[in-house]
């Protein structure tokens, strides 16, 4: 709540409300001085054993990433994935969502 920056996190939902955390947003578009629109997407590792205990439901990247991309279709020039998924998963996603 006290951060002076946006928290970008798209694959974590509250177990009760089924909504993302109020302190985060799934994506953000920033525009460079040259006018390039950069879509930022944040995904965390889906810790299936620990997040549910804390009241969170992790969503796998294969489920949520297409939804975030579709919601932002036509609104960006470049997409940057802020990933905490691990290099092997990052490589798979880069091939699947070029």
Q: How far apart are CA 95 and CA 67, in angstroms?
A: 17
What is the pLDDT averaged over residues 27-50?
A: 96
Domain-located, residue 5: no
Q: Judge whether residue 2 has pLDDT over 80.
A: no
23 in any annotated domain: yes
- 88, part of any domain: yes
Total structural domains within the chain: 1
Let me know if residue 3 belongs to a domain. no
Strand partners, 44: 84
Q: Is residue 35 part of a domain?
A: yes
pLDDT score for 1: 62
Report whether pLDDT(56) > 80: yes
Full-prediction pTM beyond 0.75?
A: yes
**Which residues span the domain enclosing 86?**
12-96
pLDDT tens per residue across span 81-97: 999 999 999 999 999 99
Kindly report the three-state secondary structure assignment for every residue of the chain: CCCCCCCECCCEEECCCCCCCCCCECEEEEECCCCCEEEEEEEECCCCCCCHHHCEEECCHHHHHHHHHHHCCCCCCEEEEEEECCHHHHHHHHHHCC
- Residue 23 binned pLDDT confidence (cut-offs 50, 70, 90): very high
């Amino acid at each position: 709540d006290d951060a002076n920056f946006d928290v970008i996190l798209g694959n974590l939902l509250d177990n009760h409300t089924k909504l993302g955390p109020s302190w985060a947003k799934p994506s953000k578009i920033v525009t460079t001085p040259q006018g390039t629109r950069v879509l930022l997407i944040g995904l965390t590792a889906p810790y299936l054993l620990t997040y549910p205990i804390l009241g969170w439901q992790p969503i796998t990247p294969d489920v949520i990433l297409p939804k975030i991309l579709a919601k932002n279709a036509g609104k960006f020039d470049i997409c940057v994935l802020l990933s905490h998924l691990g290099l092997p998963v990052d490589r798979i996603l880069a091939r699947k969502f070029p």
